């Protein structure tokens, strides 16, 4: 006859084994990175409106005969987008530190996209530029990120929360040319230099892209892009740039009102700038 202790031990083993088996058969299978990517691409097709916040920080270090100098440029923006009617409005601010004789400067800009034109208000003056055909997908922040996700390989990282929302996290592994196309075409990045792809490959020493996908809606909540660039300036020395670009998305399919200010009707028209890659 087994003792009471042995019986209890046997029962405990059976219970633990049964629980483990139940977990094995009833627990949901691990979701793959490709499945999350597919969900996100499908959910993005149902977006009619959204809001966003963007921040960018570029740390620049230059080394030459006069020694080494470092400074940081920061930029941030908020905006909202009407995807269905191809409208967008955004407020953008960039802060540059003192450089040489130049003092610290803060530049603010308003931007609207209405009826195939980009309107900008800066230094008390309105300007407008015709939006190139099929360029909406590049100027709209979410569409740009979705196109980057679609064209890239993905790897799943440990889950995290964004502003209290549980998210899947993906490491995006894009082609460098596609990444620069998306990055340089984002609102507020119009001044990004036009760099031939072969030269870009030489100066970009590393980059990473991460995207947070809402577990419930399967829509992007946050994107973080980091890039390191190094330039050989010959006799002038060298320069390195470390750039972090972060964007959050929220307010999906909530009402937005985007109306061009009346004074923008008389905006001065200027030619469209060249794209980030020739």
Residue-wise pLDDT tens digits, 89-127: 999 998 888 766 567 788 899 999 988 888 999 989 999
Higher pLDDT, 8 or 248: 248
Which pair of structure tokens corresponds to residue 43? Answer: 């959910």
Condensed to tens digits (0 to 9), the pLDDT of residues 58-73 reads 998 988 887 888 889 8
Q: Strand 268-269 relative to strand 125-130: parallel, antiparallel, unpaired?
A: parallel
40 pLDDT higher than 70:
yes
Please give the mean pLDDT across all residues of the chain.
Answer: 81
Condensed to tens digits (0 to 9), the pLDDT of residues 166-211 reads 999 999 988 777 777 776 666 555 555 566 777 777 888 888 899 9
Predicted confidence band of residue 271 (pLDDT cuts 50, 70, 90): confident
Residue 246, Cβ density class (10 Å: 0-12 exposed, 13-18 middle, ≥19 buried): middle
Distance, CA of 81 to CA of 20 (rounded, Å): 48
Beta carbons of 193 and 273 less than 8 angstroms apart = no
Q: To the nearest whole percent, how much of the chain has pLDDT over 70? A: 78
Residues 6+ apart with CB under 8 A from 202: none
Beta carbons of 117 and 268 less than 8 angstroms apart = no
Can you give the pTM of this predicted structure? 0.80
Q: Which fold has domain 31-269?
A: outer membrane lipoprotein receptor (LolB), chain A (2.50.20)
Q: Where are the domains of the chain?
A: 1-30, 31-269
Beta-ladder partners of 94: 75, 107
Q: Report the pLDDT averaged over residues 47-67.
A: 90
Predicted confidence band of residue 229 (pLDDT cuts 50, 70, 90): confident
Residue 84, Cβ density class (10 Å: 0-12 exposed, 13-18 middle, ≥19 buried): exposed
> What is the model's pLDDT at position 274?
54
Which pair of structure tokens corresponds to residue 78? Answer: 């908020």
Which pair of structure tokens corresponds to residue 277? Answer: 């890659």
> What is the model's pLDDT at position 134?
66
Q: Report the pLDDT averaged over residues 67-96.
A: 90
């Amino acid at each position: 006859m087994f003792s009471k202790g042995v019986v209890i031990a046997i029962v405990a083993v059976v219970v633990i084994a049964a629980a483990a088996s139940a977990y094995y058969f009833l627990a949901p299978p691990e979701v793959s990175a490709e499945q999350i990517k597919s969900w996100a691409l499908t959910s993005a097709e149902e977006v009619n409106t959204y809001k966003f916040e963007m921040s960018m920080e570029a740390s620049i270090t230059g080394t030459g005969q006069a020694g080494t100098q470092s400074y940081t440029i920061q930029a941030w923006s908020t905006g909202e987008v009407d995807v269905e009617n191809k409208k967008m409005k955004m407020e953008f601010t960039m802060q540059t530190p003192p450089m040489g004789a130049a003092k610290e400067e803060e530049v603010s800009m308003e931007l609207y996209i209405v009826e195939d034109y980009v309107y900008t208000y800066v230094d008390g003056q309105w300007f407008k530029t015709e939006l190139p055909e099929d360029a909406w997908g590049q100027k709209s922040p979410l569409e740009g990120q979705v196109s980057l996700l679609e064209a890239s390989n993905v790897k799943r990282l440990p889950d995290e929360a964004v502003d209290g929302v549980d998210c899947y996290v993906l490491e995006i592994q894009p082609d460098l040319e596609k990444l620069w196309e998306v990055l340089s075409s984002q609102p507020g990045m119009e001044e990004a230099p036009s760099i031939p792809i072969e030269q870009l490959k030489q100066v970009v020493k590393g980059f990473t892209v991460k995207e947070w996908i809402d577990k419930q809606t399967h829509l992007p909540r946050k994107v973080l892009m980091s890039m390191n660039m190094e330039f050989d300036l010959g006799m002038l020395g060298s320069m390195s740039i470390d750039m972090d670009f972060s964007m959050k998305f929220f307010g999906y399919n909530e009402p937005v009102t985007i109306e061009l200010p009346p004074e923008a009707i008389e905006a001065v028209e200027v030619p469209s700038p060249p794209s980030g890659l020739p």
